Amino acid sequence: MNSGADMPALRADGLGRALGGVTLLDGVSFTVLRGEVWAIVGPSGSGKSSLLRLLVRLDEPSAGTVYLGGVDYRQLPPRELRRRVGLVAQRAALFPGTVAYNVRFGPSQRGRELSQGRVEELLSGVGLSGFAERDVANLSGGEAQRVGLARTLANEPEILLLDESTSALDEVSCEGVEELIRSIIRENELTCMIVTHDVAQSRRMAEHVLVLRQGRVAEKGSVKEVLGAHSPVR
Amino acid sequence: MLTHLFDNELLLGAAQAAVALAFALLVMMLARYEHVHLERELTGALLRGLVQIVAVGSIFLLLLRAPGWITVFVLMGMITAAAAIARRRIEGIPGVFVVSLYGIAFGSGLVILPMTLLGVIETQVTALVPVGSMIIAAGMNTCALALERFRSDVESHVAQIEAGLALGAAPAQTVTPYVRSAVTASLIPHLNTLRSLGIVWIPGIMAGMILSGTDPVYAAVYQFVVIAMIFAAGGLTALATMVLVRGRVFGAAEQLLVRPGTGTA
């Protein structure tokens, strides 16, 4: 029986994005197999965040396309695509209200009401047991980022995209969230792409790496080959 | 005093306008003393206002002799002009003129038409055009205020809106809080008008009716009717405008098109 491990979960084919005459991404191609964890690294302005936005179609590619499980994502309803490919942004941008409201938001868009038990389970998974009824206005940066992660996981995505999810946090919070993300990826066997400007972090978290420079793929391959270090994730 | 100096109505009007202009120029000079430079904007606005209002007076002269159906075209022209003015400060929302046009036409039309059929607004050109114009102007103001507030709220909540989209929400759902706040904000001037009616100000129609010898109580009631119609038109315009505009800030693939400071993405 095919476990699906060698199946491409996500394939970008010649992705390009230009805005106002400026090329943000040009000819970006890569294939991510199911269960793989990729780091996307590169200097500021290299197109890392622009690439993630294209992968969930928050922006429209000027060229190329993305295949999700072999299907051209332009053939999928945008809402279905965005449920299947979860994005955790650099800043959590939580909705005003309680933590539970935020966690329930995604499933409720499809008419699915998460039970209190499931909300608590998701919050416990990100180390925030007992936070369900807290007002998001009273959360620290690290806590807000964890709620953002729980909110995305509530949608049960096939692929998780993390956009510098620890960059706005202090060192202690950063280590905690990073460890949390590693364990969530392991436990849920998620396919994951992590944008980071921190090469050490990509060594700690990913098996494969995509290096972007000036909107183009400069290098791609295993972390060991490209960054010359051991990848400890799995 | 001026009435004693001028026998001719046109000359009297010109003299009254000159006195009013002198007050406006005095404001301009006082502002200049405080280093607030209004010269260019105020002079332009005053001249434009004078020319426009004299032109309207002249048009009324022609309308008094025109058949009644011409009023429909006059009101349609006013709605089109109102839409063009309402959209002026709104950059970055595609098709905003059409949104304004439909919004104002819906809001003002839904008040003017039944109120005319019920006889609340008289069908003579001299009644329908001025009352209609007030209702259309109210629609224009609420439309502009609602659009401006909506765009500003969307621009300052891009992260939340895109977070909602990224979680699979419908575009309309992600901007619902900003639609609500835009409708509320656009109606605040009308609510203040209703609250202050008769206490802070005595509106033009009532003042004009009393001056022309109408019973003050009837004048007051009719003024209330006009203000209520203005509020209704404003509210309907704001709601229609928001229903029409909320989808226009998103692209075909449900992507947010509005970005802070850059208009559309």
Host H or E run for residue A8:
strand A8-19
Report the first-to-last Cα separation within chain A, whole angstroms. Answer: 23
Tokens 């929400």 sit at which residue? B169
> Quick check: A180 and A127 in contact, CB under 8 A?
yes
Quick check: is A122 in a domain? Answer: no
Using CB atoms within 10 A of its CB, is residue B120 exposed (0-12), middle (13-18) or buried (19+)?
A: middle
How close, in Å, is residue A1 to chain B by CA atoms?
A: 32
- Say what the ipTM of the complex is: 0.89
Report CB contact under 8 Å: B167, A106: yes
Quick check: is A223 in a domain? Answer: yes
Host H or E run for residue A67:
strand A63-68
Please indicate if any CB of chain A lies within 8 Å of the CB of B162: yes
Provide the CATH number for the domain around residue A48.
3.40.50.300
Quick check: is A120 in a domain? Answer: no
Structure token digits, residue B167: 């979680």
Quick check: is A101 in a domain? Answer: no
How close, in Å, is residue B263 to chain A by CA atoms?
A: 12
Report CB contact under 8 Å: B167, A82: yes
Domain ranges within chain B, ordered by starting residue: 1-65, 68-264
Quick check: is A128 in a domain? Answer: no
Report the domain count for chain A: 1
pTM of the model: 0.80
Quick check: is A32 in a domain? Answer: yes
- B76 contact partners, CB below 8 Å, separation of at least 6: none
Quick check: is A166 in a domain? Answer: yes
In the prediction, which pLDDT does B93 show? Answer: 84
Over its length of 234 residues, how does chain A's per-residue pLDDT go in tens digits?
A: 445 557 789 999 999 999 888 999 999 999 999 989 999 999 888 999 999 999 999 999 999 999 998 899 999 999 999 999 999 998 889 999 999 999 999 999 999 999 999 999 999 888 889 999 999 999 998 889 889 999 999 999 999 999 987 776 677 767 777 888 888 888 888 899 999 888 888 888 899 999 999 999 999 999 888 887 544 444
Nearest to B253 among A60, A92, A110 (CB): A60
Euclidean distance between CA atoms A33 and A39, whole angstroms: 13
> Quick check: A226 and A41 in contact, CB under 8 A?
no
Inter-axis angle of helices A141-153 and A99-108, to 10 degrees?
20
Between B261 and A17, whose confidence is greater?
A: A17
Please indicate if any CB of chain A lies within 8 Å of the CB of B41: no
Chain B residues whose CB is inside 8 A of the A60 CB are 251, 253, 255
The overall average pLDDT reported for chain B is 87
Structural domain of A212: 8-93+159-227
